[in-house]
A and B are shown apart, each in its own frame.
Chain A
């Protein structure tokens, strides 16, 4: 077992002053509580070192926030330059204008952009813009899809009243018939359809859009006058530089980005078509630090690197190397491992492992050898991953799969 003395000591202290010690998606309870470290000390490229000095090859990239590698020198330089000038002022800095211009030029349908700190800030705001624009109350989302921490969509149970979800209707991803029925049965009442580019639920294999799905979704939204809101918070930057809608070939009305946008600096953005500019101005939006110039400097540099390095294509290729290598290794040892979803953000799924014991054992064993594979959440490739780190991970996985034996041995 890896040394986790300091991790446990810190957790003991945290537990006294923070409810649950660590909460949310990074709570140890959501991962492998006795195999992953609780606290990180520093990180560089695709590796991080925990507070006990254990080094890890990371395949979560700060749950997607890191696209160009931890502590990327070019981004850190841009950040340092801005930090000398300051971060939050009474007024926005010129970087807000530059960043909005950059997004509008990068994203084909975007005519305007606004900024906040988290994905949730703007997914919730986007549905309010849709309501303002249409004068309608209802919102459709895919069942099991994550759109943030607000009460209309959070995956928890507490602190909720029935009214929180009274105007939310769910359908199963890819079930166009159900979607069409919902729209026709509620004609004139639906403001928005909020979707992720593909279905990346936790604890389940990812589902890509079925052939014709997005074209049909666009057609249905147009037919019923419903705004199509793309939640590109998780995928943004990892499928296409111009937004994930380009990867799947459709056009939303509004789109929300965060995670990889600032390469680890907290920022989110919502962009929209011209026709929703007026509605967007009617829905109040603000936050004390939302014009944080440091995060905007990071986002500008991150977007520049994404274009220069063709980052989306690059992480898809790197992901392909990883996913094909893992699937081959599993097959060699009699395991049916499917790496679902796009290769730059794969979700691992052992066939027949609905209760997740197998994936948990696999990830635990890999963790013991310093490979950070999450058993319940899609992984993230970053542009700092290289052939060496990927090969090393495949090599460890191969050994672990060999030790686990074939399915007939279970």
Chain B
């Protein structure tokens, strides 16, 4: 995998989760801005194409606490674009409300989580070589009786990527949540990897050793990368 500054992994993963969430929102409502992040110099990250730039720590604060001050100059140069991006950020947070779980929440929260996970899988030095036994792989995430929620794939070059739209190809692993509530709890708080399948809350079929490793990395990412606060 490519060399990546270790101290930037958590903020970059957080930025990618924003991108993932906004991408799904755009697919759902056709108007939300896709907040593609960009790593800038001096520990800064741009969220969206223009206007919104955060110091890494401020970005994490913005996610955790719901507000943090972005850099002023870029904002003043593109105020409209920046305000739109801030509005999208606010709307992303609403999808994390456990009292308003709908299928759309699952799509947003899952994709955000998979983007975070992809950063860890692609860049975290702790996991280099962990997937050397695997090649082209596809993991699909489903909701019982209501189909696909998203996917995570690994290319033969070892690059992980995530998506929400339906995907072709035979999955290596299929993970199915029994219900919307179980899915939301699992995606936002983590899955009890031993108990959930035994209790029938989650069904995992296919190449279990792959899922075992993915699950381990995802639990670490979930522990380290903040999720939006309400």
Interfacial residues, chain A to chain B (CB-CB below 8 A): 8, 11-12, 15, 19-23, 27-30, 33-34, 38, 157-158, 202-203, 354-357, 360, 376
Report which of A22, A29, A34 forms a contact with B193, defined as CB distance below 8 A. A29
Q: Assess the A357–B205 pair: CB atoms within 8 A.
A: yes
Q: A29-B198, A157-B216 are in contact. List 9 more A-B contacts (CB 8 A).
A: A8-B199, A20-B193, A21-B198, A27-B198, A28-B197, A29-B208, A30-B208, A203-B207, A355-B173
Supposing A12-B199, A355-B171 touch, asked if A360 and B205 sit within 8 A by C-beta, the answer is yes
Interface centre among A29, A356, A360 (most CB of B within 10 A): A29
**Using Cβ atoms and an 8 Å threshold, which residues of chain A touch B204?**
29
Q: Assess the B198–A356 pair: CB atoms within 8 A.
A: no
Q: How far is the CA of A355 from the CA of B206 in the complex (A)?
A: 5
* Chain B at the A interface: SS class: mixed
**Using Cβ atoms and an 8 Å threshold, which residues of chain B touch A22?**
194, 198
Interfacial residues, chain B to chain A (CB-CB below 8 A): 130, 170-173, 192-195, 197-200, 203-209, 212-213, 216
Q: Assess the B170–A21 pair: CB atoms within 8 A.
A: no
Interface centre among B198, B204, B206, B216 (most CB of A within 10 A): B198
Q: Assess the B216–A33 pair: CB atoms within 8 A.
A: no
Q: Assess the A21–B195 pair: CB atoms within 8 A.
A: yes
A14, closest chain B residue (CB): B195
Q: Assess the A15–B192 pair: CB atoms within 8 A.
A: yes
Of all A-B residue pairs in the complex, the 3 with the closest CB atoms, nearest first, are: A20-B194, A28-B198, A33-B197
Q: How far is the CA of A34 from the CA of B195 in the complex (A)?
A: 12
Q: How far is the CA of A23 from the CA of B198 in the complex (A)?
A: 11
**Using Cβ atoms and an 8 Å threshold, which residues of chain B touch A28?**
194, 197-198
Q: Assess the B206–A11 pair: CB atoms within 8 A.
A: no
Q: Assess the A355–B170 pair: CB atoms within 8 A.
A: yes
Q: Assess the B195–A15 pair: CB atoms within 8 A.
A: yes
Please name 17 pairs of A and B residues whose Cβ atoms are closer than 8 Å in the assembled complex, sorted by A.
A8-B199, A15-B195, A15-B198, A20-B192, A20-B193, A22-B194, A22-B198, A29-B204, A34-B203, A157-B213, A157-B216, A202-B209, A203-B207, A203-B209, A355-B173, A357-B205, A357-B206
